[in-house]
Structure 1
Amino acid sequence: MTMFRALAPSLTVWAANPRALRVVLLDKDGQAQDLTGRTATLSIRRSAMLEPRVTVDSVISTDGYAWLFLLTAAQCDMLYADGQFYSISYDVIETRAGGSLRWTGRIDAQPASELPGGGAAPVLVDLPVAELISETDTVLISERGAAGFGVEQRLKDLGRIDEATPAAMDNYIRGLGEDAAAPYAATALDARDTALIAAGRSVDATQQAEAAAQAALLGSNIYADASAGAAATPDGEEFVAYGPEGSYATRYLMVSGAPVAQDSYPNRSALDAQAQAVQRVEQPKSPDRPMHSLESATMVVADIYEDGVDFPGLNINAEPRPYDPYEAGLSGFFTKSGFWPIAFDRKGWWLPGGARMETGPKGVQIIQRDGSIVLGGPDVPVAPIDITPICGGDLALVSDRPLPLHIPSLFKVRSDAEPAIVTIASRQTLPAKNTLVSAAGGTVMLDPARVGPATTLSIRLKGQRTTYLTRTMLSRVKQVPVSGSPVINLHSPGDSITARQLAFYLKLLLESWGFVVNFIGTMNGDGATSGTGPLGEGREGWAFQDWLGIEQDSDWTNVVPVGGEAAYLALPNADKLRWHPALNPDLNAGSQCPIVTVGGVQYRFDFAFYLSRFGYALPTDDMATGPKLNCIVVNLGMNDLLEKDPATSLAQVIAGYGYLLDEYRRVAPTAKIVVWASNLSNSVGMDAIWSEWAAILAAVGKIVRDRQAAGDPNIRLCSAWLHQSPEPGGWNFTASAVDAVTGFSTATWNNDVHPVGIGRDNQFEAVAAAVANFF
């Protein structure tokens, strides 16, 4: 053991060396507290995990002013092995008065050290001392110490060990663990023996049938030897003869006049001999011996430990091994030195170096530490995790509220594994009011007071420190309330996500910020079938093919005829849904949308026809009175996804947005257009189609960017899916009865497509902010 002085505030652990940690709690005046009667636990874990790798209970010092935590050489060996691939942290936890106090620090795992100069006897020194000032708002942790006799010398003085050596202390510590487990050993053995008896009584039905057939054969004539049986048995039939040496009966089949051995059966003397050959030997209590051994006259068949079995050449959860070296739900194979090179859980295997082997719909996958996947072996190219972000080029905020940004919704691949580090950087003014935040998951709240005109989004794959993805986005913050009561004449075409209160929320939000809003449409926007609320054109179940009239299905069955406008407007929302209000039989009116045939009549989707037939002024008509459209908020594509295969739905969205945006621009050349899209819930069903939806979102983003690049300054994409949580709080669910003990109930998704409550707040606040920043 090397004598040392710690130079860093972390706890240093050397491989293959026992470690003594002495913890002193200082009060606010810097005086050591008397810890008599108080206990604590040292828990060491991978920093990113909650489950401990090592847990050690405290031993109170002789003077009562320190907790001693004693780590074995094997435990330090395991921590060093972990430290090659993971960051490791330790927690000192005291539980009392119904709560707990916790102090956390970092483990600095080092290889086994040697004494300089040679020849000097190693001495274990009590280093470090972790000084913890116990105040509610201050925890000061420092590591210090000086050379001197260590815990092993005091253990010898107390008569606990015979020699003041690290090896003797290591054995003593391990003995503590065995003593603590002793009360449970008998119960565990009884349970195991009961299980073995039950297992012995369970015989497969096929084996029973086979045994019955063989018993019938054995009950027939048994010949003294194979020659006698062969002489009396024709080809194709079987006989039984004694042998070899009277210990076994052997069954033969006659083939071409010769006996062919099929199987052999032990008699009583053979079974007794075998039972005597392997016996269970009880072991005296010792830290380096099993509880029981199965031994024959020449070898140990197996050693049985409390937590596992050690067969020749294969060790399953058995000593020698680190104490508690695996998280809950994991098992593993260990080397003789106690290292844990392979472990497995329900999903697959952990392999040396931190990789995983899993099986799934795509077969066997080897997932490396950096997240890359190798399928089928080393000759298959590595496929890195796709961390391509999906987001619009703008951020829109209003001054009266933060903007949530949900990190997992940035990526084409949805996973709880959090494969990348996302950094958001923005500066508003000098002296600096800035945002610089990094996260691998969860939600980042963007403060409008700390977001400037440019925001940089950087994405780094975990484990990658040389390159990263980066993009500078325009970020706008609208100061509200606005002055001058700007007027917004707004039309909101969309599907059921729009129908379910988009216009209602936009009215509340925009008017609260000082805007005057007039709504243009034929469907009331206060719910799917509501007859009240502001007007819009949210239509349940409609895909692009419905809007353009290309496909006629149960979503709509009729075209509003010329002259039938008043009758159509008198219908309730649920009935209006079945009538198409924007198909014009005049194919030469100017629309360039596809020609469709409905009921033998040809039509085109015609936005100008739609506006004028329902009494709205065309934006290009300078002489017209009444509200002229100056804002379009459109959200489509979800029903294309739900109704079609991935390739078809993606093609429909790309083509559909092309036709609609061209038509809106023909009729309203300078109107502000906000294209937006919603998130999918984190349910099993929505996870299954997330990659398809992500492809549609990426395509919509490109459509908007291409139009901006072509010179259209009045179109923007609102990435509402980034600002709307996919977690259960904003979606419909069905809950079981409340558990009387915990106060919780078990809930399942009820509607994982349409957000509700806070989920709608999230997405519609983002859309309203995008609209507000356009005016």
Structure 2
Amino acid sequence: MSGAEDLQLFEQLVDNANSLFLSDEDFVVINGVTKPTLKKIYADFMASTGTFITVDEGLEATNGTGTNNRFFTVPETGNTYETRYRNDAGIAVKVGQISSAEAIDTVLKLISPADGAPIYVLLDELGFAWGSINSDGFDLPGMAAATRSQEGTSMLDAEDFMIFNDGPDGTTFGSMSWRPVPGDGMLVIDDLGFLWNDLTKSSTPVIADVLSTIPLIAGPICGVQGVPTSIYVRNILPKRSDTNLVRGTFASRSGPEIITSSDEMRFFTQDIGAQAYLYLRSEHATSSRTRLTLNCLSAPNPGVGAGNILTLGDSIQNRQGGQMQKQYLEGWGYTPTFLGTINGSASSSDDDNAAGELGEAREGWETGDFTYSVTDRVSIVAPGGEADYLSLPKLSKWPINPFLRVATEFDSVDVVRNGMVFDPAFYQTRFGLPTPTIVNITLGTNNVRDQSEADIAVNYHSDITLIVSQCRAAWPSAKIVLSCPGTPRDVIRDSLWSTKYTPLIRSMLQVRNDFNDSNVIVFPIWAHVTQEAGYTISTPMTDPLTGAVTGSLGDAIHPRESTRMQMHQAYAKLLACALANLI
């Protein structure tokens, strides 16, 4: 091969390497073949390593016996980057460790070549050297690059004249240079110092995308006297953004209380009165605003009220939902009784704990698991098998639907799903349960997981219409509450918020309007809970000085700690208003 061909091959190899190692994409195409980038390989590797901030968190998330899910990794400081452990019956056994970059650099300095020494010499077909790569840079025909002591990068031609320079004071390329200026933009100057182009001002106006201000919220807004209530503006918009903001204002219709924010509007419901206006205005459309009238309720504190609560939910309710709601209600003076056939968890770390309140909150369930429009996850309790079902451990109970019975010739086709009927009256009778005062339906998160964008609104509407109509037939005086927990800020979750959560919530509002019944209520729990805190961080990087960790969201479904408390306190406010007969 000639020197020119070698150079061309070398440049192609460099381009390919840059694509694989430096690209921000997950995949690149090289010579017609799709290959994963270093970013993708590293992300997949880190996702499989099971990295946790502390040893205790790793032990909690892994198994102490068996062959699956035994290993985890904990980041370290100093000469050790991370340590690999195996969970042996709750004891962390160290099985390996990876040295830090500092430790590796120390070793490399002992074995690396002297500065400027050639690492690779490029030869032509006759064995003559036509270029080299050394520890300071590279030297090729017509071009060379080398490190330098001052900040920046320079490229020189064969006669050592500078053809490109990028430093802290600006950039030069041939006869053109540009430098930063105060504010946004830059000035481009020719070799005599004359202004060539002023980029500090845009030559064309920027047209901002005006966000929809039609709110995803419904009244009543429920509170408890002396306890603050929050509405998060981003959580009631069809599209969430940190730069294209919508300003919200919550204004009492009977008093001077007014709260304005583009994030959290925090208030006491007793200061608002019976009604408030919610105003929404895009900051890019100041001449237009949206206004919605919302009823507001404020339960007495201390209060008096008792009732039976039946919760239909998923893992979010299973994980301390009933326990926390009861604690808040009893603290405000109310006496709730939670009904159901399966106990929720009373533990912040053990989802399978069965010391919590009774209900029908089942890990992984969506609306179709209750109605049997989805058939791949649940079975039924055969007639006469009630006692055996109730005696089962929690892990054996959760895939069994206690509401279902086999359809008969007397059932309307409107209530039959795949040969089964969701029958709350049958459920109450066969298990000898009291009549619910409140039916709290908190489903939808797993519909987002399983349903397509095209189907989610229609399927939710069909399932919830059946559940509400059957509950209304069985318990005519019960208050039936519809809600769906929100989701945190994240690139993936923000997209799902617009494409799936928004149509599901609008479908929920449509169900409420279809029934036109004051006892069928939409409770906007998603509006009352922060989207910024309370979720795990995966593959965190720890700052050695502050201990701060940085990473992407791990479990973006289940709120934890204060966010979990905030959610169930909001549910408890709703239940307090119902038990006080304000709803």
What is the TM-score when the length of structure 1 is the normalising length? 0.50
Distance, in Å, in 2 between the alignment partners of 1:631 and 1:478 is: 16
DSSP-derived class of the 1:536 partner: strand
2:359 to 510, 527, 536: 536
State whether structure 2 residue 288 is matched by structure 1 residue 467. yes
Distance, in Å, in 1 between the alignment partners of 2:217 and 2:167 is: 56
1:498–1:538 Cα contact (<8 Å) kept: yes
| C-alpha RMSD over aligned residues | 3.6
DSSP-derived class of the 1:742 partner: coil
* Residue of structure 2 equivalent to 1:770: 574
1:514 to 333, 339, 350: 333
DSSP-derived class of the 1:507 partner: helix
1:674–1:771 Cα contact (<8 Å) kept: no
2:322 to 493, 499, 503: 503
2:310 to 474, 477, 491: 491
Matches within 5 A, 1:76-91: none
2:525 to 705, 720, 745: 720
State whether structure 2 residue 252 is matched by structure 1 residue 426. yes
Distance, in Å, in 1 between the alignment partners of 2:237 and 2:196 is: 37
1:591–1:604 Cα contact (<8 Å) kept: no
1:593–1:605 Cα contact (<8 Å) kept: no
Distance 1:705 1:413, change over 3 A: same
CA-to-partner distance for each residue in 1:49-89, whole Å, 9 max, x for gaps? xxxxxxxxxxxxxxxxxxxxxxxxxxxxxxxxxxxxxxxxx
Distance 1:209 1:594, change over 3 A: farther
2:253–2:277 Cα contact (<8 Å) kept: no
Report how far residue 702 of structure 1 moved: 2.6
Distance, in Å, in 2 between the alignment partners of 1:211 and 1:352 is: 56
* Residue of structure 1 equivalent to 2:147: none
Distance, in Å, in 2 between the alignment partners of 1:589 and 1:519 is: 32
Distance, in Å, in 2 between the alignment partners of 1:474 and 1:458 is: 14
Amino acid at match of 2:508: V
Distance, in Å, in 1 between the alignment partners of 2:547 and 2:369 is: 47
State whether structure 2 residue 547 is matched by structure 1 residue 743. yes
Distance 1:593 1:304, change over 3 A: closer
Distance, in Å, in 1 between the alignment partners of 2:450 and 2:126 is: 58
The alignment-based identity, stated in percent, is: 24
State whether structure 2 residue 432 is matched by structure 1 residue 615. yes
Distance 1:563 1:212, change over 3 A: same
1:674–1:770 Cα contact (<8 Å) kept: no
Distance, in Å, in 2 between the alignment partners of 1:596 and 1:210 is: 77
2:213–2:289 Cα contact (<8 Å) kept: no
DSSP-derived class of the 1:550 partner: coil
Distance, in Å, in 2 between the alignment partners of 1:688 and 1:764 is: 25
1:387–1:413 Cα contact (<8 Å) kept: no
1:521–1:536 Cα contact (<8 Å) kept: yes
* Residue of structure 2 equivalent to 1:410: 236
Matches within 5 A, 1:590-629: 593-597=414-418, 602-616=419-433, 627-629=434-436
Distance 1:565 1:426, change over 3 A: same
State whether structure 2 residue 562 is matched by structure 1 residue 705. no
Please list every run of 5 or more consecutive structure 2 residues that lacks an aligned counterpart in the other structure: 1-114, 131-141, 143-155, 157-162
* Residue of structure 1 equivalent to 2:35: none
Amino acid at match of 1:726: Q
* Residue of structure 1 equivalent to 2:160: none
Distance, in Å, in 1 between the alignment partners of 2:482 and 2:334 is: 20
2:233–2:246 Cα contact (<8 Å) kept: no
Distance, in Å, in 1 between the alignment partners of 2:125 and 2:239 is: 53
1:454–1:474 Cα contact (<8 Å) kept: yes
Distance, in Å, in 2 between the alignment partners of 1:641 and 1:703 is: 18
DSSP-derived class of the 1:753 partner: coil
Matches within 5 A, 1:349-748: 351-352=202-203, 355=206, 368=207, 371-372=208-209, 384-427=210-253, 429=255, 434-441=256-263, 443-483=264-304, 486-526=305-345, 528-553=351-376, 555-556=377-378, 558-585=379-406, 587=408, 593-597=414-418, 602-616=419-433, 627-691=434-498, 692-707=500-515, 710=516, 712-727=517-532, 729-734=533-538, 736=540, 739-748=543-552
2:276–2:293 Cα contact (<8 Å) kept: yes
Distance, in Å, in 1 between the alignment partners of 2:385 and 2:166 is: 87
* Residue of structure 2 equivalent to 1:760: 564
Distance, in Å, in 2 between the alignment partners of 1:592 and 1:664 is: 17
CA-to-partner distance for each residue in 1:419-439, whole Å, 9 max, x for gaps? 22211111555xxxx321222
Distance 1:456 1:332, change over 3 A: farther
Distance 1:615 1:520, change over 3 A: same
Report how far residue 529 of structure 1 moved: 2.0
Amino acid at match of 1:439: S
Distance 1:340 1:667, change over 3 A: farther
State whether structure 2 residue 317 is matched by structure 1 residue 317. no
Matches within 5 A, 1:236-385: 307-309=169-171, 315-317=177-179, 322=181, 324-326=182-184, 333=188, 341-342=198-199, 351-352=202-203, 355=206, 368=207, 371-372=208-209, 384-385=210-211
Q: Per chain length, whose mean CA-contact separation is higher, i.e. which structure has more relative contact order (CA < 8 Å, sep 6+)?
A: 2
DSSP-derived class of the 1:695 partner: helix
DSSP-derived class of the 2:548 partner: coil
Amino acid at match of 1:403: T
2:309–2:338 Cα contact (<8 Å) kept: yes
Distance, in Å, in 2 between the alignment partners of 1:341 and 1:406 is: 41
* Residue of structure 2 equivalent to 1:55: none
Distance, in Å, in 2 between the alignment partners of 1:750 and 1:698 is: 28
2:489–2:531 Cα contact (<8 Å) kept: yes
Q: Which stretch shifts more, 493-502 or 566-575?
A: 493-502
Distance, in Å, in 2 between the alignment partners of 1:641 and 1:596 is: 21
Report how far residue 474 of structure 1 moved: 0.7
CA-to-partner distance for each residue in 1:451-483, whole Å, 9 max, x for gaps? 111111111111323221111111111121113
Aligned residues: 429
Report how far residue 334 of structure 1 moved: 7.1
Distance, in Å, in 1 between the alignment partners of 2:270 and 2:366 is: 39
Report how far residue 313 of structure 1 moved: 8.9
Please list every run of 5 or more consecutive structure 1 residues that lacks an aligned counterpart in the other structure: 1-196, 216-270, 272-293, 295-300, 344-349, 356-367, 373-383, 617-626
CA-to-partner distance for each residue in 1:376-424, whole Å, 9 max, x for gaps? xxxxxxxx43333211132111113101222211211122114222111
Distance, in Å, in 1 between the alignment partners of 2:125 and 2:281 is: 62
CA-to-partner distance for each residue in 1:588-614, whole Å, 9 max, x for gaps? 6767654345xxxx4311111111100
Distance, in Å, in 2 between the alignment partners of 1:570 and 1:302 is: 78
Matches within 5 A, 1:133-144: none
Report how far residue 721 of structure 1 moved: 0.7
CA-to-partner distance for each residue in 1:117-164, whole Å, 9 max, x for gaps? xxxxxxxxxxxxxxxxxxxxxxxxxxxxxxxxxxxxxxxxxxxxxxxx
CA-to-partner distance for each residue in 1:631-665, whole Å, 9 max, x for gaps? 10001121121012111222211111111111111
Report how far residue 339 of structure 1 moved: 10
DSSP-derived class of the 1:702 partner: helix
* Residue of structure 2 equivalent to 1:96: none
Amino acid at match of 2:400: W
What is the TM-score when the length of structure 2 is the normalising length? 0.66
CA-to-partner distance for each residue in 1:652-685, whole Å, 9 max, x for gaps? 1111111111111111112111111111012333
2:456–2:503 Cα contact (<8 Å) kept: no
